[in-house]
Structure 1
Amino acid sequence: MRWPETTTLLLRADDGVLHVTLNRPDARNALNALMIDELDAVFDAIAASREVRAVVLRGAGGHFCAGADLKEVIAGGLKAPAPGEADPIEAWSRRFGAMLRKAGQLPAVLIAVCEGAVLGGGLGFSCVSDIAFAQVDAKFGLPETTRGLPPAQIAPFVVERIGLTQARRLCLTGAQFRGREALALGLVHECFDDETELQTRLDASLEQILHCAPQANAVTKDIILKVARMDMDAVLDDAARQFARCVRGPEAPEGIAAFMQKRAPKWARGT
Structure 2
Amino acid sequence: MELPTTETLLLALEGGVLHVTLNRPDSRNAMSLAMVQELRAVLATVGGDQSVRALVLRGAGGHFCAGGDIKDMAGARSKGVDAYRELNRAFGSLLEEAQAAPLVLIAVLEGAVLGGGFGLACVSDIAIARRDAKFGMPETTLGILPAQIAPFVAKRIGLTQARRLALTAARFDGSEAERLGLVHFCAADDAAVEQRLAQVLEQVRQCAPQANAATKALLLASDSEPLGAVLDHAAELFAVAVTGEEGAEGTLAFVQKRAPKWAE
Write the letter of the residue equivalent to 1:55. Answer: L
**Partner residue, 2:138:** 143
- Note if 1:92 corresponds to 2:87: yes
Write the letter of the residue equivalent to 1:30. Answer: A
**Partner residue, 1:225:** 220
**Partner residue, 1:36:** 36
1:193-204 equivalent positions in 2, closer than 5 A: 193-204=188-199
Counterpart Cα distance in 2 of 1:48 and 1:245: 19
Counterpart Cα distance in 2 of 1:178 and 1:134: 9
Counterpart Cα distance in 2 of 1:68 and 1:199: 27
Alignment length (residue pairs): 264
Counterpart Cα distance in 1 of 2:177 and 2:7: 31
Counterpart Cα distance in 1 of 2:78 and 2:140: 18
Counterpart Cα distance in 1 of 2:184 and 2:16: 22
Counterpart Cα distance in 2 of 1:17 and 1:224: 22
1:170-181 equivalent positions in 2, closer than 5 A: 170-181=165-176
Write the letter of the residue equivalent to 2:93. Answer: A
- Note if 1:208 corresponds to 2:164: no
Write the letter of the residue equivalent to 2:94. Answer: M
Cα drift, residue 198 of structure 1: 1.0
**Partner residue, 1:65:** 65
Percent of pairs identical after alignment? 58
Cα drift, residue 78 of structure 1: 5.3
**Partner residue, 2:155:** 160
Q: Equivalent of 2:246, from 235, 238, 251?
A: 251
Q: RMSD between aligned alpha carbons? A: 0.9
Aligned to 1:75, what secondary structure does the other structure show?
helix
Write the letter of the residue equivalent to 2:145. Answer: P
Counterpart Cα distance in 1 of 2:102 and 2:20: 16
Write the letter of the residue equivalent to 2:213. Answer: A
Counterpart Cα distance in 2 of 1:78 and 1:171: 28
Aligned to 1:129, what secondary structure does the other structure show?
coil
Cα drift, residue 252 of structure 1: 0.3
Aligned to 2:155, what secondary structure does the other structure show?
helix
Cα drift, residue 51 of structure 1: 1.2
TM-score, with structure 1 as normaliser = 0.96
**CA deviation profile, 1:152-175 (whole Å, cap 9, x unmatched):** 000000011011110110111111
Cα drift, residue 248 of structure 1: 1.9
Counterpart Cα distance in 2 of 1:28 and 1:171: 21
Write the letter of the residue equivalent to 1:58. Answer: R
**Partner residue, 1:84:** none
Cα drift, residue 195 of structure 1: 1.5
Cα drift, residue 80 of structure 1: 3.7
Aligned to 2:85, what secondary structure does the other structure show?
helix
Counterpart Cα distance in 1 of 2:153 and 2:246: 34
Counterpart Cα distance in 1 of 2:11 and 2:80: 38
Counterpart Cα distance in 2 of 1:138 and 1:227: 31
Cα drift, residue 79 of structure 1: 6.2
**Unpaired runs of at least 5, structure 2:** none
**Partner residue, 1:240:** 235
- Note if 1:182 corresponds to 2:177: yes
Counterpart Cα distance in 2 of 1:227 and 1:45: 26
Write the letter of the residue equivalent to 1:126. Answer: A
**Unpaired runs of at least 5, structure 1:** 82-86
Aligned to 2:47, what secondary structure does the other structure show?
helix
Counterpart Cα distance in 2 of 1:136 and 1:213: 32
**Partner residue, 2:76:** 76
Counterpart Cα distance in 1 of 2:85 and 2:16: 36
**CA deviation profile, 1:52-111 (whole Å, cap 9, x unmatched):** 111100000000000000121121025645xxxxx1110010010001110111111000
**Partner residue, 2:109:** 114
**Partner residue, 1:6:** 6
Counterpart Cα distance in 2 of 1:80 and 1:190: 42
1:21-32 equivalent positions in 2, closer than 5 A: 21-32=21-32
Counterpart Cα distance in 1 of 2:64 and 2:70: 17
